[in-house]
Structures are given as structure tokens and as C-alpha cells.
A and B are shown apart, each in its own frame.
Chain A
């Protein structure tokens, strides 16, 4: 099915563990984004990618790592999870810059 998918949809982990959130899109969009959403804040950009092997930091990149070896995949890794990284994470994609057209369903991550 065409679209943008995220996995897992829900994750509970412990402080200090490494966690990887997966994002896959079927449109071959050039741009992919990772956002986090927290109460009292708008969506905040963590990292984005303009193409395979090209990534750049957003507003809140600390504690996160991304890679994009293939156009369709954009995994987000929390190298050593902290409680402050408890959030809902959204992946998104778009054909061009300055517009986020399609969002994934989100991953709710809880760090204990």
C-alpha cells in the first residue's frame, strides 16, 4: 500500500537503552522529516533529510541520530534514551522543501 508508515506504533523502554524508530514511505519523496510532539509545544523538528545520504539538524537534535541510506527509509535512533525523550514522534515526507505534506501515524514512546 502506498503511504508512509512508522514502526513501532507504541514503545516503552528504559533510561539508557538504545531505541530505533522506523519510517518508510512509498512515494520516493525527496524530503523526509522527524518531529516530536509534546504537550504545550508545537511539532518540533528533530532532523530532516533532503535526499539519500543527506541529513541536517532541526530544532531539537540532541540525543538523536538519523541515517538515510535509501530514499524510502529514514530511521531515528535514540542512542541512550532519557525520560525527556518521552514523546509522540511523527515522520513526514514531501516532494519539495518548505512543505510537509504527508505524515506518518506517529510512534508513542515512553522512557521509564
Chain B
């Protein structure tokens, strides 16, 4: 079993739809990261969160430490949100090292 699992693997949406991407992990963590990889390959850190919820523009990340689950929501999705969204958690015994999920590929159509 992978230590970090994301769902769905692929997601298509119409512009304006509300998007939810899920991340489940099996290790105890201090924080979880969400990243965005653009179609050109560039990777951007979106959030690091250890509890509750964080919001940045139309992006909202939530985490439930007890359930070992995090969600990334996109409100009023737009074609420019099309990207791969990746979650990552630190290794329990070595927080210098992150374990990455395989990503959720999102395509938003006009």
C-alpha cells in the first residue's frame, strides 16, 4: 500500500464547477503539502497545512489529522486551473524527506 494515495487520478470538469481532490496517507505527520504542476512541467507549492483549513484565492485545502485525509478544493474552476495536483507528507522518522503522491490530473474545459 502506498503511503500517500490520491483520488481521483484524472478529473475533467466544466468551467465554473467545484472541484475536490483527495489525499489519504498512512503515516503520522506534522504537516501536509499541496503542490501544483503546470502542463509545462513547472512545480509550485500551494499550501503547507498541519490542521484545519487554509484558503488562497479560489483554492481551499483542508486536513483531518485523525482521519489522515486532506482535500484540495477549487471553487469556480477555470481552464487555467488545468494541472496536476500533488500532495506530499514528510516521512515519520525523517521530516527532511517528503513522500509524494502520484498526482491528480485536472482538466477544466471552457
Question: A: which residues have CB within 8 A of B?
Answer: 31, 40-45, 48, 50, 56, 58-59, 88, 90, 92, 97-103, 105-106
Contact = CB atoms under 8 A, between A and B. Distances in A.
Contact of B96 (A40, A88, A98, A105): A98
A106 B30 contact: no
Interface residues of B, number: 22
B43 interface: yes
Contacts of B31: 98-99
Nearest to A41: B102
Contacts of A42: 4, 86, 88, 99-103
B43 A103 contact: yes
A105 B30 CA distance: 28
Residue in A88, A92, A97, A100 whose Cβ sees the most chain B Cβ within 10 Å: A100
A90 B43 contact: yes
Nearest to A102: B45
A6 to B, nearest CB: 11
Given A42-B100, A42-B101, A100-B33, A105 B95 contact: no
8 contacts: A42-B86, A42-B102, A50-B96, A97-B96, A98-B98, A99-B31, A103-B43, A106-B41
